[in-house]
Amino acid sequence: MYTSGVASASPTTLDQYDVVVCGGGPTGTMAAVSAARNGAKTLVIERYGFPGGSSTAAMVHPWLSFHNKHGEQVLAGLGQELVDRLQAIGGAIGHVRDSIGFVYSLTPFDPDLTKQVMLRMLVESGADLMLHTFITDVQTTNGIVTAVRVVNKSGSQLIPAKFFIDATGDADIAMRAGAPMQEQRKDGQLITQPLTMNFRLSGVQWEPIRRYILDNPDEFHHETMFHELKRGEPLTAVSGYFSEWRKVNEKLNVPRDRLLFFSGVRPDECYVNTSRVTQLDGADAFDLTAAEIEGRRQVTAIADWMKGNIAGFEDSYISMIPTQIGVRETRRILGDYVINQNDVVNGSKFEDAIARSAYPVDIHAPTGAGLITSEAPDDYYEIPFRCLLLQGLDNVIVAGRCISATHEGHASTRLTPTCFAMGQAAGLAAAQCASKNLLPRDIKGSQLRSKLREQGAVL
């Protein structure tokens, strides 16, 4: 038997970086671009061969939402730059009204072109990229992470840095460093939100769908913009077919109470967000594998049913199934502040705020078929920088869906445009720490906010 010894060999130690961003999803991409543009020697580590994570690998579509319920834009910065650059090459159509009426706007995008634009932004920023790479361990000394260990086709490397941004979505760095996490189970059951395998259909005719909605309003979400649809406003999102779904739900074996889909960038496509895989842990390898298998089964079942039973889908076909299932919630860190449902609903404001959001609490029931939602704040709420700071670790900033939030608070903060903003703030903070020889807790929130405003953020 031949063995090379690469897997067990001592890792190669790379030169030290100012900032290492762990994870190249929506949050990590913006964090790396922000850190590099602000002068930090930056590396982003990503497991796939492209950036974008939940937006590209999991095709979580569309982006919700850059606006509050009055139509005022509350999120911009690097996220808006991405939308603008996509729109310039036909990869987005800008912000459009949500015809379901759940939020003010949604932002359709093309997942493949998003990979391209994100790559350009990263390369142009001067950040280094290490793709096709998994983080396997961290080194810590007295509350300081000194290096991460990775594995890839080259073998194993040890990557030291002054500061680390955990943008893994699952708080992998924080967990491996022994930082405290919030409880994911109650009475033996997972209380995290279910997983969803989105998919794209092409060959869709939207006019028969519009007619059916207007002829059967009781079959659809009560906030649907029926009057606007009668006037010919674009149909961008559909939530309903309640009785039709009830008839077939037992046969399809999908624990959901409705059909949900969104328009795309091209006129004959839609993105279906209807599958639901419950009581599996997206941060457990065996559960995640089972979820991938079940999610793909559900995709075929749902697509076949839509084609055979829903007007407008007679000529539809699956044109894209994502690389991986979408994961809404796994680990959440315990930080210096834990944002909660009251903060979201009441529109809490903070002196050290680094991002805004106006998205309501939106919980896909962990054990059932329905949704648990709250009113959106009247204007917006703010996410304090303290939610990104880990208890017990001094040089790690956590950004994205695994920040310090309750289950209910997380159900709002997890949305992609908010993650763009958190990533931008985390990258700026890490770059400032590296240049001024400070720790994240030493940074004044007012100075961070001022610089973020200069760089396009709405604060």
Residue 6 has pLDDT above 60, yes or no: no
Residue 1's pLDDT band, with cuts at 50, 70 and 90, is: very low
* DSSP letter (8 states) at residue 376: P
Residue 109 has pLDDT above 60, yes or no: yes
Residue 185's pLDDT band, with cuts at 50, 70 and 90, is: confident
Query: Do 140 and 30 lie in a common domain?
Result: yes
Query: Do 130 and 35 lie in a common domain?
Result: yes
Mean per-residue pLDDT for 359-384? 88
CA distance 392 to 175: 11
CA distance 76 to 66: 7
Place of tokens 């003010």: 104
User: How many C-beta atoms lie closer than 10 Å to residue 372's C-beta?
Assistant: 14
Give pLDDT, residue 348. 98
Query: Do 37 and 150 lie in a common domain?
Result: yes
Contact 22, 127 (CB under 8 A): no
Give pLDDT, residue 366. 85
Tokens read off for 44: 């982003």
Asked whether residue 339 is domain-assigned, the answer is yes
Residue 29 has pLDDT above 80, yes or no: yes
**Which of 451 and 1 is assigned the larger pLDDT?**
451
Give pLDDT, residue 9. 73
H or E, element range at 290: helix 285-309
Give pLDDT, residue 360. 95
Could you tell me how many residues make up the chain?
Answer: 459
Query: Do 223 and 306 lie in a common domain?
Result: yes
Query: Do 302 and 338 lie in a common domain?
Result: no
Q: What is the CATH number of the domain that holds 337?
A: 3.50.50.60
Q: Which are the contacts of 259, defined by CB distance < 8 A and separation ≥ 6?
A: 238, 239, 240, 241, 244, 245, 272, 274, 302, 306, 310
Q: Which range, 38-47, 354-363, 367-376, is most confident?
A: 38-47
H or E, element range at 427: helix 416-436
Q: Which neighbouring-strand residues pair with 133?
A: none
Task: Give the amino acid at 6.
Answer: V
Query: Do 25 and 121 lie in a common domain?
Result: yes
Q: pLDDT, tens digit, for every residue of 254-269? A: 999 999 999 999 999 9
Query: Do 393 and 420 lie in a common domain?
Result: yes
DSSP-based three-state secondary structure for 449: helix
Asked whether residue 370 is domain-assigned, the answer is no
Mean per-residue pLDDT for 5-20? 84
Residue 400 has pLDDT above 60, yes or no: yes
Tokens read off for 241: 């077919």
User: How many C-beta atoms lie closer than 10 Å to residue 257's C-beta?
Assistant: 17
DSSP-based three-state secondary structure for 102: coil
Asked whether residue 58 is domain-assigned, the answer is yes
Q: Which are the contacts of 301, defined by CB distance < 8 A and separation ≥ 6?
A: 252, 253, 254
Asked whether residue 417 is domain-assigned, the answer is yes
Give pLDDT, residue 7. 52
| Cis peptide, bond prior to residue 62, ω within 30 of zero | yes
Residue 448 has pLDDT above 70, yes or no: yes
Mean per-residue pLDDT for 171-176? 98
Residue 3 has pLDDT above 50, yes or no: no
* DSSP letter (8 states) at residue 362: E
Transcribe 212-275 into DSSP letters. Answer: HHHH-GGGB-TT--HHHHHTT----EEEE-HHHHHHHHHHHT---SSEEEEE-SSTT-EEE---
Tell me what the pLDDT averaged over the chain comes to: 96
Beta strand 17-22 with 371-373 is: unpaired
Q: Nearest-CA neighbor of 79 among 102, 50, 107?
A: 107
Tokens read off for 99: 């015809």
Query: Do 118 and 48 lie in a common domain?
Result: yes
Place of tokens 């004044």: 444
Question: What pTM value is reported for the model?
Answer: 0.96
- Least confident segment among 34-43, 242-251, 357-366, 406-415: 357-366
Residue 5 has pLDDT above 70, yes or no: no
Residue/partner pairs of 79-85 with CB below 8 Å, 24 or more apart: 79/30, 79/417, 79/420, 79/421, 79/424, 80/456, 81/121, 81/456, 82/114, 82/117, 82/118, 82/121, 82/420, 83/107, 83/109, 85/117, 85/120, 85/121
Q: Which one of 268, 300, 320 terminates a domain?
A: 320
Asked whether residue 402 is domain-assigned, the answer is yes
Tokens read off for 141: 């000394």
Query: Do 48 and 171 lie in a common domain?
Result: yes
CA atoms in the 13 A half-sphere facing the CB of 409: 26
**Which of 192 and 311 is assigned the larger pLDDT?**
311
Give pLDDT, residue 364. 84
Asked whether residue 393 is domain-assigned, the answer is yes
H or E, element range at 298: helix 285-309
* DSSP letter (8 states) at residue 441: G
Query: Do 59 and 123 lie in a common domain?
Result: yes
Q: Nearest-CA neighbor of 128 among 36, 30, 22?
A: 36
Give pLDDT, residue 72. 98
Contact 60, 326 (CB under 8 A): yes
Asked whether residue 102 is domain-assigned, the answer is no
Q: pLDDT, tens digit, for every residue of 282-331? A: 999 999 999 999 999 999 999 999 999 999 999 999 999 999 999 999 99
Contact 364, 328 (CB under 8 A): yes
CA distance 159 to 44: 11
Q: How far is CA 135 from CA 16, 300, 306, in A?
A: 16, 33, 40
Give me the helix-helix angle, 77-88 and 111-125, nearest 10°.
Answer: 120
Query: Do 240 and 166 lie in a common domain?
Result: no
Mean per-residue pLDDT for 141-156? 97
Query: Do 172 and 42 lie in a common domain?
Result: yes
Transcribe 114-176 into DSSP letters. Answer: HHHHHHHHHHHHT-EEE-S-EEEEEEEETTEEEEEEEEETTEEEEEEEEEEEE-SSS-HHHHH
Please tell me the total count of domains within the chain.
2
Host domain of residue 264: 194-320
Asked whether residue 5 is domain-assigned, the answer is no
CA distance 440 to 384: 13
CA angle 53, 435, 174 (to 5 degrees): 40
Q: pLDDT, tens digit, for every residue of 80-104? A: 999 999 999 999 999 999 999 999 9
